[in-house]
C-alpha cells in the first residue's frame, strides 16, 4: 500500500543546470526535492553525461510539484494559481524544533561509482563515500609510496596495490554506512588509519623477501647452486 511519505520520481532529466533550477523552485514552494546523481556527474567528468538525473519528491507532494513544473512551461497558468508562501524544510536551516528530516531521504552512494573511483585514484573512493579523513590518509600513502618507490627504493611500490585494495573494499562498506544514515565520524576514521599504514608498511617490508620467489629463474639458480655447491 502506497504511503504519503514514499518517494516518487516526477521526471528524469539530463541537464544538471535545469535539474538544480527545478529543485530550487520546488524547495522555495515548501516541497522537499532531490536529484540523486548530480554529484556523480561532477566527479565523473565526461562520463557524467550518461548518468540520469531523476527528480524525486514525496508522494504527498507529487501533485503540487507537477502543477508547479507545468507552470514553468505555461507561466500564465502559474499566475492564475500562485504558489503559496515558501515553507522551509522541517528540521533544516535556522528553524529549530521542526520534525527531523527522514534519514532515508538522501542522495545514495553507489558502490559501482566508489569502485570506479578506487581504481582510477586510490583514496578518492572514500571521498565519494563521505569519509574524507580516510580518503586523505589513503591518498597520502599512495603519493608517498609512489614518490619513495621512484626516488629511493622500489620496495615502496609494493604499498600501491595494498592501498588500492584497502580503498576498494573500505569504500564499499563506507557506502553501506552512509546509505544507512550511519557514516563514520572523522575521529573514528582517524583511529582506524594505523591499520592502513600498517598494511602498507608490511607490504614494503615483505617485498624484498618475496621478490626472489616471484622470479622463477632466480629460485631455480639458487637451488642448483645450493645443491651442487657442496660437491
7-13/53-58 β-pairing? antiparallel
Compute φ and ψ for 156, nearest 5 degrees. Answer: -65, -20
4 lies in the same domain as 90: yes
51 lies in the same domain as 138: no
87 lies in the same domain as 134: no
Reported as a single tens digit per residue, the pLDDT across 163-186 is 888 988 888 998 888 888 888 898
Last residue of a domain, one of 57, 74, 107: 107
Last residue of a domain, one of 83, 107, 131: 107
C-alpha cell belonging to residue 42: 561532477
94 lies in the same domain as 128: no
Evaluate whether residue 230 is within a structural domain: no
Reported as a single tens digit per residue, the pLDDT across 195-224 is 888 988 888 888 777 666 555 544 444 544
3-state DSSP call for residue 89?
A: coil
Last residue of a domain, one of 76, 107, 138: 107
Evaluate whether residue 21 is within a structural domain: yes
| Residue 226 burial (C-beta neighbours within 10 Å; 0-12, 13-18, 19+) | exposed
Q: Please, where are the H alpha helices in 13-110?
A: 16-28, 38-44, 59-73, 75-80
Evaluate whether residue 198 is within a structural domain: yes
> What was the pLDDT predicted at 224?
42
Evaluate whether residue 95 is within a structural domain: yes
184 lies in the same domain as 115: yes
C-alpha pair distances (Å), 192 with each of 119, 125, 140, 142? 22, 16, 15, 17
Query: Which has the closest alpha carbon to 163: 176, 152, 148?
Result: 148
Evaluate whether residue 228 is within a structural domain: no
88 lies in the same domain as 118: no
79 lies in the same domain as 147: no
Residue 118 predicted with pLDDT over 80: yes
- The domain total for the chain is 2
85 lies in the same domain as 140: no
81 lies in the same domain as 14: yes
pLDDT confidence tier of residue 226, bands split at 50, 70 and 90: very low
94 lies in the same domain as 136: no
Evaluate whether residue 9 is within a structural domain: yes
29 lies in the same domain as 71: yes
Give the torsion through C-alpha atoms of 192, 141, 109, 113, to 10 deg. Answer: -150
140 lies in the same domain as 168: yes
Evaluate whether residue 231 is within a structural domain: no
Q: What is the domain range of residue 80?
A: 1-107
Reported as a single tens digit per residue, the pLDDT across 2-41 is 676 678 888 888 777 788 888 888 888 888 888 887 766 6
Evaluate whether residue 61 is within a structural domain: yes
Amino acid at each position: 500500500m502506497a504511503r504519503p511519505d514514499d518517494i516518487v520520481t516526477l521526471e528524469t532529466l539530463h541537464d544538471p543546470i535545469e535539474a538544480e533550477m527545478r529543485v530550487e523552485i520546488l524547495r522555495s514552494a515548501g516541497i522537499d526535492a532531490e536529484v540523486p546523481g548530480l554529484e556523480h556527474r561532477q566527479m565523473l567528468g565526461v562520463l557524467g553525461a550518461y548518468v540520469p538525473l531523476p527528480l524525486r519528491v514525496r508522494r504527498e507532494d507529487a501533485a503540487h510539484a507537477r502543477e508547479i513544473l507545468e507552470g514553468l512551461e505555461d507561466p500564465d497558468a502559474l499566475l492564475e494559481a500562485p504558489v503559496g508562501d515558501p515553507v522551509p524544510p522541517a528540521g533544516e536551516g535556522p528553524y529549530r524544533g521542526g520534525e527531523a528530516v527522514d534519514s532515508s531521504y538522501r542522495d545514495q552512494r553507489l558502490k559501482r561509482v566508489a569502485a570506479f573511483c578506487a581504481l582510477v585514484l586510490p583514496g578518492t573512493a572514500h571521498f565519494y563515500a563521505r569519509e574524507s579523513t580516510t580518503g586523505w590518509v589513503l591518498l597520502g600513502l599512495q603519493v608517498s609510496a609512489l614518490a619513495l618507490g621512484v626516488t629511493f627504493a622500489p620496495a615502496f611500490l609494493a604499498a600501491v596495490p595494498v592501498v588500492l585494495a584497502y580503498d576498494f573494499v573500505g569504500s564499499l562498506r563506507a557506502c553501506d554506512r552512509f546509505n544507512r544514515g550511519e557514516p563514520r565520524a572523522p575521529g573514528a576514521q582517524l583511529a582506524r588509519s594505523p591499520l592502513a599504514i600498517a598494511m602498507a608498511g608490511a607490504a614494503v617490508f615483505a617485498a624484498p623477501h618475496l621478490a626472489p620467489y616471484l622470479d622463477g629463474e632466480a629460485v631455480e639458480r639458487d637451488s642448483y647452486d645450493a645443491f651442487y655447491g657442496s660437491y
